[in-house]
Structure 1
Amino acid sequence: MKAFKLENEPKIATGFKTPENYFDDFSAKVLQQISEEKEVKVIPIYKRKKVLSLLAAAVVVIAMMIPIVNNYNNTSKELDEDTLETYLAYQSNLNQYDLIQNLDAKDIKKLSKNVAIEDETLEDILATNPNIEHLISE
């Protein structure tokens, strides 16, 4: 590897130069600019009609978005009865014993309240069904 000698290489001149006598009175200029007090314009918010109208528009938009966001977050994750019944009806590997195993006492009470079969309907089913023995054994 070739040895690099910084002193022997030609030097490149920088492109930046300061004006003559720039730093002689620099501190005096800075102190003069600091000591000058500049008046700052303060514009009160109630005089700005655009700001008030934009603020009112933002409030209206937010107020209209509240029901949409609330409805979006509260969508029910539960299945409705028809969908569940259709799903269970078309599953061939599901039988009544699987359903019975997953029912609680509370669920059984709900089912007994909902089932109301009239005597005539029950007699018609038993009279027209040839497998009475099978129905009785279940």
Structure 2
Amino acid sequence: MTGGGADDPLTSLRAELDLEKDVVLPGWVTSDELEALYAVADLYVCPSLEEGFGLPVVDALRRGVPVLANDIAVLREVGGDLAGYVDASQPDELAAGLLAAIDLPVDDGRAARIAWGERFSWESSARALAVLFRKHLNAPRVGRAAKAR
């Protein structure tokens, strides 16, 4: 589990459950370390209850990694039909989703996940913005801005 920093709140729970040998809490990782983690991942889990955009889900999909995410609108938007969803606020549902996802072959759908994730690249975002700018810069002006001229 990456992130969390030096005072990861999961440290005490990991000790309480005697999971030190099974759960690694490296804190923040470098870009190279993150790439290495994606390269060996069988599943990326995003149980986040709130997200601004869902970039971690996009990052995992762009690398072909299967995703299990909390069932909130923003994660459904970025994960589409290529991610699995559970109510992460319900431990039993999250656990069932994890067990089901772990049994799925990692290579099934890999190319589709990569293609879907590429839709959210910086380049594709810039192109979409350029189309919007051109459309609106060439549109007739209405409202107060047009009257002021």
Q: Per the shorter chain, which TM-score range?
A: under 0.3
Indicate the structure with greater helix content: 1
Greater Rg, structure 1 or structure 2?
A: 1
TM-score normalised by L of structure 2: 0.19
Per chain length, whose mean CA-contact separation is higher, i.e. which structure has more relative contact order (CA < 8 Å, sep 6+)?
2
TM-score, normalised on structure 1? 0.20
Please state which structure has a larger fraction of its residues in strand: 2
